[in-house]
Structure formats: C-alpha cells, structure tokens
Structure 1
Amino acid sequence: MANPNQTPQFHYHFSTVTGIFLQDEETTDASKFDFASTDFGLIPRAYPSDAEFDPNNGKTQWERLAYYIEALNRHSPPDTQYKLLFLGRHGQGVHNCHYSLLNGDDDLTWFDALLTDVGISQARTVNETWKAQIKKGIPHPQSYYVSPLRRCCETARVSFEESGLRGTEPFQPLVKELLRETLGLHTCDARSPKSVVEAAYPKYVFEDGFSEEDRLHVPDLRESDSARDVRFIELLSDIFASDGNSVLSLTTHSGAIMSILHVVGHRKFTLETGGVIPVLVRGERKEGKGEKGVVEPWWPKPECPKN
C-alpha cells in the first residue's frame, strides 16, 4: 500500500504545437530569418476556435491565437496545459570563445560578461518589435523570467522597460538560477554574487533559495548537452507546475534555448544574439518518474593550441 504521507512522483512530457510560427517549419532558414519584420514569425492561418471567437473576421491574427490558446487550455484535461513561450537570447556580450577561460584584460571584463553597444542596440530592437506587435493585438506576457547572468538581466531590462507591455512598469522579472547558459569552465558563464546582481537590478525578484555565491559553476568541467537538457526539463517542469499563466517570457542564452527547443520537441533553430523565438508548448503531467535517457558526463577542459 502506498504511503499516504509520501509526496506522489510525477513528471512532465513536453511537445511543440507546430504550424503556429514560421520557426516551426523546416523550410524556414534560421540564418536568414528576421523575427522583427515577420511578427515574431506568426503564420497567417485559421484556428479551430475562429468560428466561435471571430465569426465576422474582425480580429487580428494575434488575438485569434490568444483565444485559441485559451480554448486549448479550457478544453484540455486537468493534467494538460498549453503555454506560449517567448524565448529571448541576450544581446551581444563582450565575451567570445578566445577569451572565455580568462577573467578579463586591461580594457574588458568577461567574467559574467556584460553587453556591448551592439548588444544593447539588439535589445532595443526587441523593445521596438514588442511595441509594434502590441498594436497588432499580441498577447502580453503574464510572467517574465530571466537568467541571473548580467547580460541577460540587462537585455531583459532594455527589451521590456517602457515597452507598453502590461506588468512591466515596474519591470520585476523572476530571476531563475537554472535558466543559465551551459555550466562550467567558461568564466563568462559564471555568475556574480546575488548581492552584485541585486544592487544592479534592485527591482528584480529572486526565486526562493537563490544563493549568494554561484554554486553551479565548475572551473574545470563543461556541462554536456544531455546534462543541460535534463536541467531544462527540471526548469520547465517547475514553471509548468507553479505558474498558471499561459504567456511567458524567458530571457536566456543560446545553449539554454537550444535545450529548451530540444526537450519540447521543436526542430533545431539557432538564434542570433538578441533574437527571439516564440514556441507554443503542450505540457502533460504524468505519474511516476520520467525517463532521462543517456546523460553524458561533463567535458574536461580542452587543450588549447599554443601560439
């Protein structure tokens, strides 16, 4: 007999609802795609809920999508929910591969790397894109999440402050530790102490249990792709279990977005710095522990060629 005091184990199975955005389509070339000029990639199409919501064809594409997501959630079983995730990659940072194992030089610091002027400009483009889409009826994010690394914190601030989106004045995203870039080795992916980030972004909210010091960075090992996937299954499971909202913004990193797309069954889609990809995700809560599959060990520090 099961112990009535024991917390039941469950897991989430994630999948992508395709056919909503151009990024879902195999014919869309990521290297040439411009989210800002294509309504974030929204495909002009009909939805099954249009007859109920828009019989006179007077609603915008975004308004009809928002209602479709609402209808999906309303008619789904209790253990299934749909969330529209806007995944934003931080703008260009001062770090790069050549410098990633060092702390800095006389002119730049890339430990927990900051944005360049180009990176700030990229975040402003995101801000202007949101403003343009608001006029077209885009559903406003109801929850905002951000990586604790400073390039993401600043990207999120520039992207959303004074954007006109509901819930951004003041802008108070939730800082999530697991929303970070691939862990280990690279000093640009180590985070500053909580007090440093908090001083720079005093309105940001840190999740419960967020530690002062970085407990995840490992100086001599690099997180494998499969280990990173497991981390993002945990992150998404936490968000789906605790957040009842259906439109979410996550400002994060290229490796993080790669893993999120992979674990929700989306096709591979590489984002440029400052890029945004929306994904409609179905999350099904199932009893028992989920299968993690083969998780590769973290990788050791590579041998660097001598000049």
Structure 2
Amino acid sequence: MRVLPLVLTAPLLAFQGCVAASFRYSVDKTGLFLQEDPKINPNPPSYADTNFGLLNRTYETDASFDPSGQKTQWERFANYVAGLNKDAAPGVSYKVLYMARHGEGYHNVAQTFYGADCWECYWSQQTGNGTTTWQDAELTPKGYAQVRAANAFWRDTALTSKIPFPQSFYVSPMARCLATANETFATLGVWDGSRGFAPVVKELLRETLNACTCSWRHPKSWIHARFPTYRFEPDFSEDDVLFRPGIVTEYANSTAQRVRVRRLLDDVFTGDNSTYISFSTHGVVISPILEVIGYPNAGFSLGTGQVIPVLVRAEKVSDGPGGEAVVGGPVAAKACGVCGPAGGK
C-alpha cells in the first residue's frame, strides 16, 4: 500500500483549531445500561424495546428524591446525574450522550450487494452503478422507516418514561445523517415556531475520510437549501475540502479517528453546558468515541437507525488541545482488477 506525501494530511489538519481545552474522559459509573454488557453483542436488542437500555436499579440519590417510589427509572437516573454534576470537583462534569447511527443508506445496501472486497476496491469509489447513487448517500425507504421509529420513540415512549430530552443537537454534514436528525426530531412539536429544529452541523461528526464517494458531502448551500433551520459551526466551508477522491485519510479504528473524536468531545465539553446531548452520526464515529471514553463494552456495534446513551465523565486537564498524535499518513485507495463491470462483479 503506497503512503502518500505528508502534505496530503491537510484534510485531517483541517479538523484542528476547534477546541479551547482538552479533557480526560471516562465511564466511571457503570452498571447503568444494558449496552455495557458484552454478552449482548451477538444479538443486541433495539434501544426502543429496552427503555433505551437503562437498567432497573436504585441510586444512592433515590431516598431523598423518591422516598415513596413513584418516579420513573429515568426520572431517578436524571436526578442521579444532576447530583453527580452538583458534587463534581472543579473541572469535572458529566454529560449523557445520545449517539444515533443514521438510518440505512444506499451505500449500506450496495456494500452488502457487492461484498466487502469489491465494494472497497472498486464500487465504493464510484458515484453509483447506473441504477442507484451512493455519493453522499441518501436514506433508503427502510432507512426512513428506521428513523421514523426513532421519532415515535421520542414522541411516545420517551414521554411516558420521562427520558430527558436532548438539550443540544449536533449532526454530521452527510445527507443521510441530516435526514436522520430531521425525521427523528423536527416534527415533535417542541420547537420555537420562529426557528424550528436547529441542530449544529459539525464536520467532526462526518463519515470516515476514505475513498468512498459516500464520504463526500454536498456544499453548504445545498445543506441550507434542504434544511434551512440547521445551523453551521464557525468556518464551515461551502465546498468539501476534506474528501479526496482515491485517497484514504482515515481508517476505521485508526489513531486518526480517535484523534478526531477526541477533538469532537473536547469541543463539545468546552463550549456546551448542556447535560443531555444528541449526536446524529455514523457507526464509524460512535465506535471510536466508545473507545476514547473507556466504555465497558467498547466493541458494541450499532445497526443502522440504532441509538446508544452513555454517561461520560470529563475532567479538564489543560487549556489547549491535547491527546495522542496521528500515526501514519494518507494512502492511496485499494485498487483491483477483478471487480466492476469489466470483472463482472
């Protein structure tokens, strides 16, 4: 595999300069969620069927908050989290991240159809196959059904269980995530009528920077035209300056991904005082987040349209960016001669 000149690391460097402090992350309170148990990984249940995975248990804050046992599990959990923040040492805070993987996209269907090898070395680098387009892939009908189920969850189940509603919303700039966030939250009827649902579009939440055209995003003006209430982080560029055709800047589970998601968390924990935060993003972003925060079940994998809640402790360690360095540079995308129309695959 040919390593490209170091100058081509510029796309990754474009992620820098967006944080004011760095933090040490951990999951120091365990035994809270079903998803913490690796035993469920072969056949994980849906968040919608398990009360978001919150386990039925007591908390040390229950006695004063709910002496008669009338509160829901989520009400007692929210009170527990509030107590953690109230009693936290200076520079320490707790946040609950609701991390949603987008609904099924056309790139997911194509990868399954062509197989992993031919998808990686040929088809993923095309914009489509003449029938289906997966460049900045849209949601499939199944994908829309998945995220409308999420809408129903927040509309009905979350209301009944009194699950804390997200106070802040962040979304990947990829079309499938923009639509996932919109279909999940925009019609819930809880928004200011003059503004509507207005998540922040963040580059740090985007798809892995590889050679798949599904990793390219539409221009800022296209996003604004389709989702006019969405807000953009400062310096969000009109055109996609991070995607490079034929170039792999990040690999799944690479140091580049860990550095990127750490910058994401640093950015959010520095500038957002909310306790409950929604990410509409990708499985390849959620997985390294679980690794960086030291999640008990870092191997947990989300299917399309699934969501995982995590309670994260952050301790400020410096007033500037920190963390591990990126190992290795961009490489040329894998190529093969047996796939595509000429190879019959």
With the length of structure 1 as denominator, give the TM-score of the two structures: 0.92
Equivalence for 1:207: 233
Looking at structure 1, the residues matched to 274 and 44 of structure 2 have their Cα atoms a distance apart, in angstroms, of 32
Contact kept? 1:30, 1:269, Cα under 8 Å: no
Q: Secondary structure of the residue that 1:27 maps to in structure 2?
A: helix
Equivalence for 2:159: 134
Looking at structure 2, the residues matched to 191 and 229 of structure 1 have their Cα atoms a distance apart, in angstroms, of 21
Contact kept? 1:227, 1:295, Cα under 8 Å: yes
**2:317 counterpart (286, 300, 303):** 286
The amino acid of 1:26's aligned partner reads P
Equivalence for 1:143: 168
Contact kept? 2:93, 2:313, Cα under 8 Å: yes
**1:157 counterpart (182, 190, 194):** 182
Looking at structure 1, the residues matched to 72 and 236 of structure 2 have their Cα atoms a distance apart, in angstroms, of 41
Looking at structure 2, the residues matched to 90 and 105 of structure 1 have their Cα atoms a distance apart, in angstroms, of 22
Q: Secondary structure of the residue that 2:255 maps to in structure 1?
A: helix
C-alpha distance after superposition, 1:220-244 (max 9, x if no partner): 2221321011001001100000000
Which structure would you say has the larger RCO, counting Cα contacts within 8 Å and 6 or more residues apart? 2
- Residues 23 and 276 of structure 1: CA distance in aligned 2, closer, same or farther (over 3 Å): same
**Does residue 81 of structure 2 align to residue 69 of structure 1?**
yes
C-alpha distance after superposition, 1:33-57 (max 9, x if no partner): 2211001111011112111211111
Equivalence for 1:229: 258
**Does residue 26 of structure 2 align to residue 15 of structure 1?**
yes
Shift of 1:161: 2.1
Shift of 1:181: 1.2
Equivalence for 1:36: 48
Number of aligned residues: 299
Superposed CA RMSD in Å reads: 1.8
Contact kept? 2:21, 2:266, Cα under 8 Å: no
Looking at structure 2, the residues matched to 195 and 21 of structure 1 have their Cα atoms a distance apart, in angstroms, of 40
Equivalence for 2:201: 175
Equivalence for 1:248: 277
In the TM superposition, 1:110-121 aligns within 5 A as: 110-121=134-145
- Residues 301 and 23 of structure 1: CA distance in aligned 2, closer, same or farther (over 3 Å): same
Looking at structure 2, the residues matched to 165 and 30 of structure 1 have their Cα atoms a distance apart, in angstroms, of 37
**2:303 counterpart (272, 275, 289):** 272
Contact kept? 1:142, 1:167, Cα under 8 Å: no
Segments of structure 2 that go 5 or more residues without pairing to the other structure are 1-19, 112-118
Looking at structure 2, the residues matched to 173 and 92 of structure 1 have their Cα atoms a distance apart, in angstroms, of 21
The amino acid of 1:178's aligned partner reads L
C-alpha distance after superposition, 1:110-160 (max 9, x if no partner): 111101000000001111112212111100100011001010000111111
Looking at structure 1, the residues matched to 189 and 224 of structure 2 have their Cα atoms a distance apart, in angstroms, of 24
Q: Secondary structure of the residue that 2:228 maps to in structure 1?
A: coil
Looking at structure 1, the residues matched to 174 and 326 of structure 2 have their Cα atoms a distance apart, in angstroms, of 29
The amino acid of 1:103's aligned partner reads T
In the TM superposition, 1:68-107 aligns within 5 A as: 68-95=80-107, 96-97=110-111, 98=119, 99-107=123-131
Shift of 1:305: 4.4
With the length of structure 2 as denominator, give the TM-score of the two structures: 0.82
Looking at structure 2, the residues matched to 299 and 112 of structure 1 have their Cα atoms a distance apart, in angstroms, of 21
